[in-house]
Amino acid sequence: MPRAKQRTPELRDHLLEVAIATLSEDGISGFTTRRVAERASTSVPAVYELFSDKAGLLRAMVFEGFRLLGAELETVPLTEDPLADLERLVPVFRSFCRSYPRLAQLMFARPFAELEPGPDEAAAGASVRAVFTGRIQRCVDAGLLAGDVADIAHVLLALAQGLAVQELGRWLGSSAPSIEQRWRLGVRSLLAGLRPAPPSDL
């Protein structure tokens, strides 16, 4: 008698949760599909039924990471100060990277050779960037920033990712105040450099 298929949304959600926890505890080098299956009290074939292979599971984890990050960014309220609203996204991004350091590494560094993101994963990353571009567009419309909105979003996210990597690697400072200061310096210096040029007196 053939084995019953185990493709259920509940199992898929459970496996993703367990996979992210396994990555967090075992690290990139210790992450295996077998370990995820064992911790989820299921079988490796059941994992493959849902995700095709290890690369499919990793892609789903990337997608889930961007979904979680996007949901957190969306909670940041809008006010009458567009520039402050944009700046407030960065601590949320930082907090996510600190809460899920190895998931963030998977999302942004792609440490597995077999991990090639597909259209869904690319769209998930773009949805996070869209939160930033929406806030940046408000700043540009208000005359607070100048430049291409997409370019600014890419550069700001690259800065935030770089600072997060430095902080997680303990290269950004030896005390909380020094780390906070360097985050503020980096973000505010970047945004200051994007301010519109003052009108010429000529």
pLDDT digits (tens, 9 = 90+) for 91-145: 999 999 999 999 999 888 877 666 666 677 677 778 899 999 999 999 999 999 9
44 and 85 fall within a common domain: no
106, 151: one domain:
yes
Q: What CATH number is given to the structural domain containing 110?
A: 1.10.357.10
Region 191-196: what's the mean pLDDT? 96
Residues in the chain: 202
DSSP class of 129:
H
Please indicate, yes or no, whether residues 91 and 39 belong to a single structural domain of this protein: no
Report which DSSP code applies to 133: H
Give 135-188 pLDDT, tens digit per residue: 999 999 999 999 999 999 999 999 999 999 999 989 999 999 999 999 999 999
**What is the model's pLDDT at position 115?**
66
Same domain, 102 and 35: no
Co-location of 121 and 92 in the same domain: yes
SS3 69: helix
Q: How far apart are CA 167 and CA 193, in angstroms?
A: 23
Say whether both 72 and 155 belong to one domain. Answer: yes
> What pLDDT is stored for residue 88 in this prediction?
97
Task: Mark whether 105 and 168 lie in a shared domain.
Answer: yes
Q: Is position 56 within any domain?
A: no
Query: Do 115 and 69 share a structural domain?
Result: yes
Q: Is residue 199 part of a domain?
A: no
Domain assignment present for residue 200? The answer is no
If asked whether residues 38 and 12 sit together in one domain, one would say yes
* Number of domains present in the structure of the chain: 2
Is residue 202 situated within a structural domain? no
Query: How far is 200 from 184, CA to CA, in rounded Å?
Result: 30
Predicted pLDDT at 109:
81
User: Distances from the Cα of 165 to the Cαs of 94, 108, 116, 168, 201, in angstroms?
Assistant: 10, 10, 21, 5, 43
User: For the segment 37-96, what is each residue's pLDDT rounded down to a tens digit?
Assistant: 999 999 999 999 999 998 889 989 998 999 999 999 999 999 999 999 999 999 999 999
Structural domain includes residue 198 = no
At 20 the three-state DSSP class reads helix
Tokens of 168: 């997680």
Are residues 139 and 69 part of one domain?
yes
Say what the pLDDT of residue 3 is. 44
Q: Does residue 79 sit within a domain?
A: yes
Q: Quick: pLDDT tens for 3-25.
A: 445 578 889 999 999 999 999 99
**Structural domain harbouring 116:** 62-193
Nearest to residue 144, comparing CAs of 97, 91, 80, 100? 80
131: closest CA among 191, 70, 84, 90?
A: 70
pTM of the model: 0.87
Q: What angle do CA 102, 104, 108 make, to 5 degrees?
A: 120
